[in-house]
């Protein structure tokens, strides 16, 4: 066949029997295999399944406890306690049908229902009968010694602060994974690492041998918040009372420490009881302070005035004509509550003149107004990284015309969260330094603020605080925010809500944002009441008294020395002996 010759090799055809023999051998093997398979699969099946089921090499999880969430003083806000869950191997329980009724009784279940569930899942090796029983109740169940019934350790989450901090702390699901609020945001740190044991189990699931392989569980870390539970309770209590009194849709109270950017209280209404999963109303899970945006209205004016002062174009002596209480910008008519005549910056704030604010805004120009709000952190991140936190709406200034500039100057066409607005006021309180807000205590003290995070010159911020004292003076719009013994600086706001067809006539948000003591503020508090349905909906009437009550108690609790002690004597607070 080939041209190269191999003279020594002669190919010889193999004898025919060889191929036949090999084939026959294969045939025998195949038959034996089939027979064996038939024997195992069909004849001995039951016996083998039984034998196999007798011994399982199993890895069981050893659950790890979830870390606690505590307030800044160590009080628990969320705590895990061990509980026992009862589970069963259904087929094993069904083999002892007479035990089902007493078992059901101790589990506080219906016997028929239990039997049905066991039958339904009889092919499973694992079925929860009842989850998260107290250890005592679980022991009573186990005392019955029903075969195939076991306990599994699980952790149940408790929320001692209840509804007062419900949206802030959030929730876990029944398996202990964070679902809402801080439970979700801090899940990685809070949840531990489950350990495992390698064991051999018998048919009914008993552990017959504990193999040496053991990975210990790693418990979750405890987290300490900047929130002070006493202040949180206080804020929530007053908020809840005000929402009920004014038949409002809800509300928010935010309290900040301006020197550190720490969030001291963050209350939201309506709330719910986080310890009972069935009671969660629609919308109750929302932490309105971070997820709801609104137009700040008049509460934005101090930011504008601070910039006007900081730019040097205005001083406290500047007078602005208010044109008889209304003036036109294109199609827009800007109007005041009434004609204030010529106003200076102090009156602009204390009377809350829209006309004067719009004029300053137009004078400064769209870019400067936009820049001001940006510098005060509106439309930006606050730093707390809360799930669902929104940035608000601050459109670019080149989309603004004259009208948008004018409305932005008195707080419309711009949307913020309560937390953003409170942070902007904290910057006014801290001489212009815009700090990142903190919700988790990390042990560090106040951090230096980068120069580019200065919202406004220190002098301008101080002057604005001085001017804002006029708002809380007897003739100002926020006179009800007065606190005996302290000078308060703050601003009211009454905002019309947007309906599908423009601004609603009868739906408002009442706002008050303020700080005390005015000279060197220790606390900044924002109060927002959503849709008060009373005879009055003004920020100065609905929100300011809430601010006063919360701040009065908070200042005393934090032992802030009164800066106007002479005013302690003759003021007569309407609820002096309540609290």
Partner 1 sequence: MTGAGQNRRALLIVVLVLANLVGALAVIQAKHRARELQSELQVLRVERDRLKTEWAQLQLEESAWANPDRVARIARERLDMRQPRHYAVLGETP
Question: Which of these segments, 116-124, 158-166, 180-188, 318-326, binds partner 1 (CB under 8 A)?
Answer: 158-166
Question: Which part of the chain contacts partner 1 (CB under 8 A), choosing from 122-130, 368-376, 449-457, 560-568?
Answer: 560-568
Among 158, 388, 390, 395, binds partner 1 (CB under 8 A): 158
> Which residue lies nearer to partner 1 by CB, 322 or 525?
525
Which of the residues 118 through 137 are near partner 1 (CB under 8 A)? 135
Binding piece for partner 1, criterion CB under 8 A, among 99-107, 229-237, 265-273, 300-308: 229-237
Smallest gap from Cβ 138 to partner 1, in A, equals: 11
Q: What angle do CA 422, 425, 427 make, to 5 degrees?
A: 115
DSSP H or E stretch at residue 135:
helix 135-142
User: What letter would DSSP give residue 384?
Assistant: S
Active site residue 315: no
Q: Considering only CA atoms, which of 543, 478, 528, 530 is closest in space to residue 504?
A: 530
Among 56, 318, 484, 507, binds partner 1 (CB under 8 A): 484
Task: Report yes or no: 325 and 340 within 8 Å, Cβ to Cβ.
Answer: yes
Instruction: Determine which one of 269, 298, 350, 352 is catalytic.
Output: 298
Among 64, 79, 429, 516, binds partner 1 (CB under 8 A): 79
Q: Least separation, in Å, of the C-beta of 412 and partner 1?
A: 38
CB-based burial, 288-299: b 16+ in 10 Å, e otherwise: bbbbbbbbbbbb
Q: Does 565 participate in binding partner 1 (rule CB under 8 A)? A: yes
Q: Which 8-state DSSP code applies to residue 232?
A: H
Cβ at position 553, least distance to partner 1 in Å: 8
Instruction: Note whether 216 binds partner 1 by CB under 8 A.
Output: no
Please provide the distance, in angstroms rounded to a whole number, between the alpha carbons at the two ends of the chain: 113
Fill in the per-residue mask, 138 to 157: x = in contact with partner 1 (CB under 8 A), - = not in contact. Answer: ---------------x----
DSSP single-letter state for residue 220: P
- Contact indicator for 265, 232 with CB cutoff of 8 Å: yes
At its nearest, how many Å lie between partner 1 and the CB of residue 485? 8
Site string for partner 1, 230-269 (x = CB under 8 A): x--xx--x--------------------------------
Contact status: 211 vs partner 1 (CB under 8 A): no
Q: Does 579 bind partner 1 (CB under 8 A)?
A: yes
Q: Segment contacting partner 1 (CB under 8 A): 361-369, 441-449, 455-463, 566-574? A: 566-574
- 213 within 8 A of 198, measured Cβ to Cβ: yes
76 binds partner 1, rule: CB under 8 A? yes
Q: Following CA atoms 553, 554, 560, 561 in sequence, which dihedral angle do they give, to the nearest 10 degrees?
A: -20
Distance from C-alpha of 187 to C-alpha of 209, rounded to nearest angstrom: 35
Q: For residue 560, state whether it binds partner 1 (rule: CB under 8 A).
A: yes
- Count, in order, helices (H) and strands (E) of the chain: 20, 17
The SS3 assignment for 46 reads helix
Applying CB under 8 A, which of residues 69, 80, 166, 467 lies at the interface with partner 1? 80
| Residues 575, 579: Cα–Cα separation, whole Å | 7
Residue 35, CA atoms < 13 Å, CB-side half-sphere: 6
CB atoms within 10 A of CB 500: 5
Distance CA 320, CA 345 (A): 8
Contact range with partner 1 by CB under 8 A, out of 175-183, 266-274, 528-536, 550-558: 550-558
Positions marked active-site = 298
Question: Can you give the binding site for partner 1, defined by CB under 8 A?
Answer: 65, 75-76, 79-82, 135, 153, 158, 160-161, 210, 229-230, 233-234, 237, 484-485, 553, 556, 558-562, 565, 568-569, 573, 576-579
């Amino acid at each position: 066949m080939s041209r190269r010759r191999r003279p020594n090799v002669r190919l010889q055809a193999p004898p025919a029997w060889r191929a036949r023999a090999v084939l026959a051998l294969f045939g025998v093997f195949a038959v034996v295999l089939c027979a064996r398979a038939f024997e195992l699969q069909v004849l001995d099946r039951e016996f083998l399944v039984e034998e196999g089921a007798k011994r399982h090499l199993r890895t069981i999880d050893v659950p790890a406890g979830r870390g606690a969430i505590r307030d800044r003083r160590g009080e628990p806000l969320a705590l895990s306690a061990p509980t026992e869950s009862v589970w069963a191997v259904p087929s094993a329980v069904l083999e002892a049908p007479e035990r089902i009724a007493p078992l059901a009784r101790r589990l506080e279940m219906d016997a028929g229902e239990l039997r049905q569930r066991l039958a339904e899942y009889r092919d499973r090796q694992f079925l929860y009968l009842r989850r998260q029983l107290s250890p005592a109740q679980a022991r009573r169940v186990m005392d019955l010694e029903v075969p195939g019934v076991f306990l599994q350790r699980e952790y149940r989450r408790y929320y001692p602060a209840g509804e007062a901090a419900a949206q802030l702390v959030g929730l876990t699901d029944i398996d202990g994974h964070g679902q809402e609020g801080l439970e979700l945001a801090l899940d990685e740190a809070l949840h531990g690492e489950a350990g495992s044991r390698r064991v051999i189990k018998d048919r009914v699931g008993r552990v017959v041998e504990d193999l040496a392989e053991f990975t210990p569980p790693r418990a979750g870390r405890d987290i300490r918040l900047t929130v002070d539970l006493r202040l949180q309770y206080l804020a929530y209590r007053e908020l809840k009372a005000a929402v009920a009194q004014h038949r409002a849709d809800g509300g928010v109270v935010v309290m900040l420490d301006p020197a550190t950017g720490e969030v001291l209280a963050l209350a939201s209404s309506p709330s719910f009881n986080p310890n009972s999963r069935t009671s969660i109303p629609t919308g109750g899970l929302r932490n309105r302070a971070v997820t709801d945006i609104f137009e700040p209205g008049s509460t934005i004016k101090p930011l504008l005035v601070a910039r006007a002062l900081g730019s040097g174009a205005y001083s406290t002596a500047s007078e602005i004509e208010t044109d008889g209480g209304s003036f036109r910008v294109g199609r827009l008519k800007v109007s005041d509550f009434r004609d204030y005549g010529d106003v200076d910056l102090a009156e602009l704030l204390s009377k809350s003149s829209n006309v004067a604010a719009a004029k300053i805004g137009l004078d400064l120009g769209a870019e400067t107004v936009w820049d001001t709000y940006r510098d005060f952190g509106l439309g930006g991140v606050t730093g707390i990284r809360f799930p669902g936190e929104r940035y608000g709406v601050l459109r670019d200034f080149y989309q603004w015309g004259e009208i948008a500039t004018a409305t932005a100057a008195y707080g419309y066409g711009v949307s913020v969260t309560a937390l953003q607005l409170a942070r902007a006021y904290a910057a006014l309180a801290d001489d212009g330094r815009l700090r990142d807000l903190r919700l988790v205590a990390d042990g560090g003290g106040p951090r230096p603020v980068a120069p580019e995070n200065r919202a406004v010159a220190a002098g301008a911020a101080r002057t604005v605080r001085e001017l804002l004292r006029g708002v809380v003076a007897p003739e100002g719009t926020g006179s009800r925010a007065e606190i005996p013994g302290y000078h308060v600086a703050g601003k009211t706001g009454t905002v019309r809500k947007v309906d599908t067809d423009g601004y609603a006539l009868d739906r408002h948000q009442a706002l008050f944002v303020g700080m005390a003591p005015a000279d060197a503020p220790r606390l900044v508090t924002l109060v927002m009441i959503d849709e008060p349905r009373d005879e009055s909906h003004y920020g100065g009437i609905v929100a300011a008294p809430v601010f006063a009550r919360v701040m009065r108690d908070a200042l005393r609790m934090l032992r802030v020395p009164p800066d106007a002690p002479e005013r302690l004597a003759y003021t007569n607070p309407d609820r002096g002996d309540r609290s």
